[in-house]
Amino acid sequence: MTVLHIKLAQETGLSFRQPENAETPRQFTGIAHSGQVFTKWGDRYIVDLSNIQYRAKTGVLLEHDPNQKVGVGALSVSPQGLQIDGTLLSTEQGKHVADTSDEGYPWELSAYIQSARQEQLREGEMVVNGVTVAAPIVILRDCAVREVSFVAVGADAHTNAVVLSDGTDFKPDFSLSQNKETTMTQEEQAEFDALKAKVAELETENADLKKAQADADKKSKVDKKLSDAGLTGANQVSEQVYGVLLSLNDAQADALIVAMKLSGQTQTKPPLPTALTQDTPPAAGEMKLTGSLADLARERAQATHQNKF
């Protein structure tokens, strides 16, 4: 749960009562926070006062400094907002506020409020603190008052500071102003369009390079497998078969190359000498067979040839 710490300055509604005598403590009354909409970083906020929590006696400081105690007050919610009725202390800071006020210094009040829950109203309207607020707006819920301070000058008419509980600057992680238009000059728009086109071009080039590299790797792998099988790459197989090998996965390509290797292996026997199968004149130094021997050799050769198939 994000606890939001808010210090809201209220520049009007503060008054001091004149004491009846020197022994009577100086009293004051004012609106610590009006409960109206305030703006920070271009977004609108409102504190829900309907269930705001506070002590029976609330400390009043100077500039939200716990070491500078000014008085004690009682808080209440009125139609004007978060009201405080208090008494100034006899401290140096309390006397300082009283004396400078008598001289006409326009002190402001600032309420230190914690919000335990933030509700985003993105569409439509809602009634908060008796008034109708329209989206977009952040409604600060489950709030509690830590203290009220006299401040010399608020940061602006409504809000002094907004910080997270860990002390870091608060910046909502949501944007309520979704209907705000973002405009660019013609030159900026042209530059933006050119950058988008360049990015698209680079993405296309990168995809082409990846495909070319993958194709080259595939060809190299297929050529090596053909070479290991005793073939010689694309020169040994037809262009069509080579293309099929490139389209297959590794296992399928391996199986096809093995089948190609086996189909190319043939068992052959050397032919019989011509002299044994033909009745031709013998060459010089060659013995000529008689007719009966030639016929026998021819028959044996034919029988052997028939048995082979």
User: What is the domain range of residue 212?
Assistant: 186-263
Strand 108-121 to 81-88 pairing: unpaired
Domain for residue 143, yes or no? yes
Which residues are paired to 99 by β-bridges? none
Report yes or no on 268 lying in a domain: no
Answer yes or no: is 81 within a domain.
yes
Classify strands 108-121 and 58-62 as parallel, antiparallel or unpaired: unpaired
Rg of the chain (C-alpha set): 50
Q: Are residues 216 and 257 in the same domain?
A: yes
Higher-pLDDT residue of 275, 9: 9
159/210 same-domain check:
no
| Residue 169 resides in a domain | no
Structural domain count, the chain: 3
* Average pLDDT value for the chain: 77
Decide if 172 is inside a domain. no
Local structure of 148: helix, strand or coil: strand
Residues 198 and 221 in one domain: yes
Beta bridge partners of 82: 33, 77
- Residues 22, 139: one domain? yes
CA distance 56 to 222: 88
Determine, yes or no, domain membership for 148: yes
Average pLDDT over residues 295-300: 60
Dist CA 20 CA 71 (whole Å): 18
pLDDT score, position 278: 56
Q: Kindly state whether residues 244 and 214 are assigned to the same domain.
A: yes
Place of tokens 């590794």: 250
- Contacts of 167 by beta carbon, 8 Å cutoff, 6+ apart: none
Clarify whether residues 109 and 224 are in a common domain. Answer: no
Who's near 87: CB < 8 A, 6+ residues apart? 25, 26, 27, 28, 71, 72, 73
Same domain, 238 and 297: no
pLDDT tens digit string along 35-67? Answer: 999 887 778 999 999 999 999 999 999 999 999
Residues 253 and 106 occupy one common structural domain: no
Token reading at 8: 């809201």
Where is mean pLDDT largest: 96-100, 169-173, 187-191, 292-296?
Answer: 96-100
Do 142 and 40 lie in one domain? The reply is: yes
Q: pTM of the entire structure?
A: 0.52
Regarding whether 216 and 154 lie in a shared domain, the answer is: no
Say yes or no: 250 and 292 in one domain. no
Are 257 and 278 in a shared domain?
no
